[in-house]
Amino acid sequence: MDPVNAEPSLLTGRDKRALQARIKALEEELRKRDEQLTDAGDDIARLQTRLEDVRQDLVNATSDLTHMGSWLSYDHDEGADTVELFDAIIDAVNAAAHRFVDALQLRPEDVITPQHATAVFDKKDDIRCAEGLRIFLERSQSSAVEMEDAIREITQAIFQFTLQRHVFTPFIPFLGSPMNECVLSLYKEIKSGESQETSKRWRGVTRSNLKRRFFDDEVHNANYFAQLVVHDVASIVSAWLSAPDETQRTQVAQDKLEEAAKEIYRLCARWLDKANGGSSRFDYMPFWGAPGEAFVGDRMEQRGLPATPTQGKKSPAIVQLPLTMGLEAKRMMKHSDGTAGIEIKVLKKASIL
């Protein structure tokens, strides 16, 4: 007899127990299905949220591509000039690193141990570690490296990072595109013949303002650029060259490195104004601070470098540029009663547009 369909009066004790077991099993099955339905609802909600995120990402990406597409046009001759500039910079950086190492007069037995590398790696954030420096430090943590090769690689990496961060940040409205992501990839495309070169509109927007600022402050900016490079290299090398008789050689080497850094900066400036009256190629600007950060004088003072007085001012955000240029200027400080006060030097931001 089927206990489910049978009359209650006809059920035996065994049938009743079977029916209760069946009801209990159905209740358990219903509970599990209810949990599955709840989980499915949560999954659907998460998928809907993710779909909205993806849609927003797509909207942002489409907007970025639209901006970039409207700002990019290609010119073969400009591409050749850019490749020529980068090749010249690479050669100059390599030569500067070799001259710096030669001036240190290192011995063949001088090596960098994993302990040396670990000490530097621990403070790499203070050095604003370049990717090449990070890779080198990770590699040297497992084996000894000749000091000549180590210092040469470190110097080149710091040069590359400082150039990327402070000189070659291209002006693309509303797009934060640092050199190591945008310009270097473009450089590779140009070298491989897959692309034609960059935006004529960059030239039109930036030339009138940036060319004048680049050259009016060339000495000032070149000095800062050189100090950044020398400071970061010296913060590593000085710990490895502690013998008293090496102090003078180290200073001579640093002087050579500083002059080389200034010349590399001037190389960029000369290229910008290669044609009579101005550039018809990439227009770059040197940058010395991020929007909302303290001016370069404050930051350099914190790092032990000579600072330009800034009165604790913060830099404004300018047309969403990832970095902004610092210019030395004079400002008149007035007394509280409104009378004229003393004239001081400040570091203010360049007006882009």
Q: Does 254 lie in the same domain as 107?
A: yes
| pLDDT score for 122 | 58
Question: Amino acid letter at 94?
Answer: N
Q: Does 18 lie in the same domain as 143?
A: no
Residue 304 lies in a domain: yes
Residue 71 lies in a domain: no
Closest CA to 298 of 274, 315, 281: 315
Residue 218 lies in a domain: yes
**Confidence label for 137 from pLDDT (cuts 50, 70 and 90):** low
Measured from the Cβ of residue 118, the count of other Cβ atoms closer than 10 Å reads 12
| pLDDT score for 5 | 59
Of 9-13, 53-57, 244-248, 294-298, minimum mean pLDDT range: 294-298
- CB-neighbour burial class of residue 321 (10 A; exposed 0-12, middle 13-18, buried 19+): buried
Q: Does 307 lie in the same domain as 279?
A: no
| pLDDT score for 333 | 42
Strand partners, 344: 331
The residues, any chain, with a CB within 8 Å of residue 143's CB and separated by 6 or more, are 114
Closest CA to 289 of 277, 280, 301, 297: 297
Q: Does 109 lie in the same domain as 214?
A: yes
Q: Does 211 lie in the same domain as 343?
A: no
pLDDT, tens only, 220-252? 778 878 888 888 888 777 777 765 556 777 888
What end-to-end distance do the CA atoms of the chain give, in Å? 92
Tokens 């009743």, residue located: 16
In this prediction, residues 35-57 reach a mean pLDDT of 85
Q: Does 342 lie in the same domain as 198?
A: no
Q: Does 164 lie in the same domain as 82?
A: yes
Specify which of 7-11, 247-251, 285-289 reaches the highest per-range mean pLDDT.
247-251
Q: Is residue 316 over pLDDT 60?
A: no
**Confidence label for 20 from pLDDT (cuts 50, 70 and 90):** confident
Residue 23 lies in a domain: yes
Residue 263 lies in a domain: yes
Q: Does 262 lie in the same domain as 226?
A: yes
Q: Does 124 lie in the same domain as 245?
A: yes
Q: Percentage of the chain with pLDDT > 70?
A: 41
Q: Does 198 lie in the same domain as 334?
A: no
Q: Does 91 lie in the same domain as 46?
A: no
Overall number of domains in the chain? 3
Q: Look up the pTM and report it.
A: 0.47
| pLDDT score for 332 | 43
Stronger pLDDT, 279 or 264, i.e. the higher one? 264
- CB-neighbour burial class of residue 275 (10 A; exposed 0-12, middle 13-18, buried 19+): exposed
Residue 237 lies in a domain: yes
Residue 65 lies in a domain: no
Beta strands (DSSP E) in 51-154 are 111-112, 145-146
Q: Does 302 lie in the same domain as 280?
A: no
Query: Which of 234, 252, 286 represents a domain boundary (last residue)?
Result: 286
User: Which of 119-152 are b and which e, b meaning 16 or more Cβ less than 10 Å from the residue's Cβ?
Assistant: ebbeeeeebbbbebbeebbeebeeeebebbebbb
Tell me the residue range of the domain where 37 lies: 8-56
Residue 3 lies in a domain: no
